[in-house]
Amino acid sequence: MTAAAPFDKVLIANRGEVALRVLRALHDLGLAAVVVHAADDEAPAGADETVALPASGPSAYLDAAGLVALAKRTGCQAVHPGYGFLSERADFAQACADAGLVFIGATPAQLALLGDKAAARALAQQAGVPVLAGSAGAVTLAEAQAFAAAHPGGVMLKAVAGGGGRGMRAVHAAEDLPAAFERCRSEALAAFGVAGVYVEQLMQGARHIEVQVMGDGTQATPLGERDCTLQQRFQKVVEMAPSPVLTDALRTRLTEAALQLARAVGLRGLATFEFLVDVAGDRFVFIEANPRLQVEHTVTEAVTGLDLVQLQIQLAAGASLADLGLAAPPPVRGFAIQWRLNMTGPGRLDRLALAQGPGVRVDTHATAGQSPSPRYDPLLAKLIVSSTSPRFADVLRRSQRALAECRVEGLPTNISLLRALAARPELGGTALH
């Protein structure tokens, strides 16, 4: 950062792996960082200052007023929300602004619009971007039931706020709707502090493709797409960049649709525009936008050579895309795959030995000897494997080697699932749904 930057000390209003990721970016930019941790949680090492929060559990990281007050008390001039928790809360961004703090992310108005999935759908319709049939906003159970009756092919319930698969359920039978509706509301309230749920038509057999965009409030630049089709209970497990199945023509249309939406709101910062894509039918529909950093930003970094977190911080400090050398889209080279290593039950991490070697990056806050709390996200580590080869098979083969090298003992994980997925012959092919 330059001496003219509006901040030199940043509060990281998050925890775990993303707190460590942001901490490293701040350090590399020469900025001071303050990290926080709940009473039942651990803070990442290496911060200039560490502050214990008075509460335990996720609620500690949802205390917007407390975090703003803490940022002021510790002399921070900016706040980075990471992803999850308060990262898409317009009221938190506004509270930061009202306190004279720079919110490292989209503007409160953009968060209110794009962070509200129903409002984002309406924006897409206004911009001429295709969408599925859906409600105009949060619905009651009766309204969801009426919508489902009009769409007998099935519906998707989604939390109006937030993301990451929480507060989301596919419902195929009418009798399953009440329980799914209440579960979505309770998950959304616990994860994001907002219980609203909306409903949309279910699209079967599509791939989940998202386009990463960065804007400076005037211009917007696409940074390529990611294929996030492999999910477990609507939680992304494997993410690829770029998608190995898109045609150039379909990729161009998706990118332009994302840019239309980014330009429509005058995007400032990072946002991801997500689509369901029928590759065989050569069609797509917009489903939602995430105006924040994504867990899977790493694969975009791997194929572009960019540091998205540093760029996000520099944009918040007043840099333009031209200042950052991003007036035009960066070239994409090769392929990258992110494998999310999750714990699937409680225990103690007696051993944690993750892969190394060419084209392998590990992002983790976990260390041997820890007993991770089941009250938080189950992510233990992100294994990011990349190759400059134009053949997707090469990065997949490297992934198989990297996953085979990983050793985790003491608690149950999904490592066997990841290895099995990597061995599937159709991974990256059009048969993947």
For the stretch 231-289, pLDDT in tens is 988 789 999 999 999 999 999 999 999 999 999 999 999 999 999 999 988 999 999 99
pTM: 0.89
Residue 159 half-sphere exposure, CB side, CA atoms within 13 Å? 27
pLDDT the model gives residue 164: 65
Tell me what percent of the chain is helix, strand and coil, each rounded to the nearest 5: 35, 25, 40
385 within 8 A of 360, measured Cβ to Cβ: yes
**b/e map 310-341, b = 16+ CB within 10 Å:** bbbbbbbbbbebeebebeeebebbbbbbbbbb
Q: How far apart are CA 393 and CA 400, in angstroms?
A: 11
pLDDT the model gives residue 426: 79
The answer to which of 164-168, 184-188, 226-230, 255-259 has the lowest mean pLDDT is: 164-168
Instruction: State the chain's mean pLDDT as an integer.
Output: 93
Q: How far apart are CA 337 and CA 303, in angstroms?
A: 10
292 classed as catalytic:
yes
Q: Which of 15, 292, 340, 361 is catalytic?
A: 292
